[in-house]
Amino acid sequence: MQDLNIINSIIEARYKTGKPAMSQKLEKQHERLIAYSGAREDAVDAPRSKLFAKGGPITKARAIINNFGTYIRKKGMPVPDKVGWTFQKVDEVDSIQEEFDKQRDDLDHLFEEIRDRYDSLKNEGEKRLGTLRDEVQYPAVEDFLSEFEFGLRWSGTSTNISETNVLGAVSKETAARIRSSQQTTADTLKEAHGHLVLDAVKEMSGVVEALLEGKRLRQERLDKLAKASEEIHRKNWLQLPELTTLVGTLRDLTVDTSEIPTVELRREHAKKIDSARAKAEETLAALGV
């Protein structure tokens, strides 16, 4: 029942995005390149033109969309096999929605600025292209803006159905199917937790490589183990003991470069990390990864 209560405190969020193209193929240049070089047409890609200069409202609008994606992924965990979806804690929903609404307002203001300045932004882009501008066709402003998409919606998991309410009123067959779905959701959450372990394994592999082959060992490389530890500690929502153990292990393996100044000490530390990595890999199959 405790696992069910934990799972019922989790919700799915779908962050849906879209951004207009910022470049176009230069088909005539491609034809000239093929004719000049004798290359096959499918052997060389067409060069691309940049439609707009960096900076300004278009760049800021794209940054809002990209940055919120980073924000919501850090808050939660990706739902396996569902692109754009993340698991989130219910008690984080208000703050996430508030941040989304704020960014939505900022984005709308930028859209108005793009409308007002579109002709000048387009003219600036054309000047930068020189004579290549004749090969480029800019979209109308509303067509351009329609390519932006910035949406967030929430969906409860099947685990929000408990035997105390719905299942008592349905047939045994349907109840069994719902319980099967309940287990599937739990397994999916475990798989999401497993990806935290997989990320930690990758970080450990990188640190081992740096210890054994790197001429200059940077502290930032070792500190990534501490960051992985904190990430797992914060997102071990199911309170899985394997992850709790890994958190402690990663913390112990995070040392200062001054503690391992020689090749021998670095090799010894690499062996410790490699051993921890092997144990972490053993848990991946159990978590569905």
Res. 164: pLDDT tops 50: no
Res. 175: pLDDT tops 70: no
Rounded Cα distance, 142 and 114, in Å: 10
Q: What is the mean pLDDT of residues 240-259?
A: 93
Which pair of tokens denotes residue 19?
């951004």
Region for residue 56 given its phi and psi (left: phi exceeds 0; alpha: psi -120 to 50; beta: otherwise): left
Q: Say what the pTM is.
A: 0.77
Angle at 20 between CA 16 and CA 26, to 5 degrees: 145
Res. 130: pLDDT tops 70: yes
Res. 209: pLDDT tops 50: yes
Residue-level pLDDT at 57: 97
Residue-level pLDDT at 52: 95
Lowest mean pLDDT across 56-60, 131-135, 183-187, 277-281 = 183-187
Residue-level pLDDT at 150: 96
Q: What is the mean pLDDT of residues 253-282?
A: 93
Q: What is the mean pLDDT of residues 210-215?
A: 86
Identify the band that residue 171 occupies on the pLDDT scale cut at 50, 70 and 90: low
Mean pLDDT of all residues in the chain? 88
Looking from the CA of 277 toward its CB, the CA atoms found within 13 Å total 18
DSSP 201-245: HHHHHHHHHHHHH-SS--HHHHHHHHHHHHHHHHH-TT--HHHHH
Residue-level pLDDT at 183: 52
Res. 36: pLDDT tops 50: yes
- In the chain, % of residues over pLDDT 90: 65
Identify the band that residue 3 occupies on the pLDDT scale cut at 50, 70 and 90: low
Identify the band that residue 163 occupies on the pLDDT scale cut at 50, 70 and 90: very low
Of residues 161 and 224, which shows the higher confidence score? 224
Res. 91: pLDDT tops 90: no
Residue-level pLDDT at 81: 82
* Beta strands in the chain, from DSSP E residues, in sequence order: 10-18, 23-25, 48-50, 77-78, 85-89, 149-156
Region for residue 219 given its phi and psi (left: phi exceeds 0; alpha: psi -120 to 50; beta: otherwise): alpha
Residue-level pLDDT at 77: 94
- In the chain, % of residues over pLDDT 70: 89
Looking from the CA of 234 toward its CB, the CA atoms found within 13 Å total 13
For the chain, the straight-line distance linking the first and the last C-alpha, in angstroms and rounded, comes to: 25
Rounded Cα distance, 287 and 244, in Å: 14
